Amino acid sequence: MDAAFPDAGAWIIDGDGWCDHARREPSPNCDERPEGVAAELLVIHNISLPPGEFGGPYIADLFCNRLDFDAHPYFDQLRPLRVSAHFLVRRDGEVVQFVPAHRRAWHAGVSSFEGRERCNDFSIGIELEGTDFEPFTEPQYATLAKLSQALVTRYGLTAVAGHEHIAPVRKTDPGPFFDWDGYHNKMVKIVNAAQLRFPLGLHKSQA
């Protein structure tokens, strides 16, 4: 897209790190990035709670420390967790934001990107409501592209990776059904393709 003619419909990340198209549910599970460290990497995840079930309140409840651990047997193992992501994209394309994008969300865990550890320090995490076992939806991809464009525009992000790429021993998400090719093709139409690096081997999961 010609920089002289910006997309009038583009999403915006404001000066406080909030997306103008996101519903806000502030999470306490965040802190400041290390001094002098800025966001450079976008990390894509998937999540469903309970596993394989969509549409309930449980993901937001987990990220905001209000999950009823007795509501489902699976939740008992989540009791010690204090986690968050910056964004959640639901199956219908709705985006929920939990952490301002300039702050550090607790989404990546033990991780490394291009030899650099502690990816939470320099990344922004987007959770897609989904699993490793079924396709994501077209509304999710549309939202992901618009949100990614806004984040690249605001922060000058230089790379995109899946959780599986930065924590390959522990994690497999966003998994084999995430359409890296389609996402890449959407992004190169709206951001500087030379600026934003994607995982190698886009045609397959790299778990």
Candidates 205, 185, 108; CA nearest to 144 is 185
Whether 127 sits among the annotated catalytic residues: the reply is: yes
Amino acid (one-letter) located at 7: D
**Strand, helix or coil for residue 123:** strand
The structure tokens listed for 168 are: 């390959």
- Could you say which of 25, 127, 129, 164 is catalytic? 127
Bridge partners, 89 (sequence order):
95, 128
- Residues 46-68 as b or e (16 or more Cβ within 10 Å = b): bbbbeeeeeeeebbbbbbbeebe
What are the residue numbers of the active site? 127
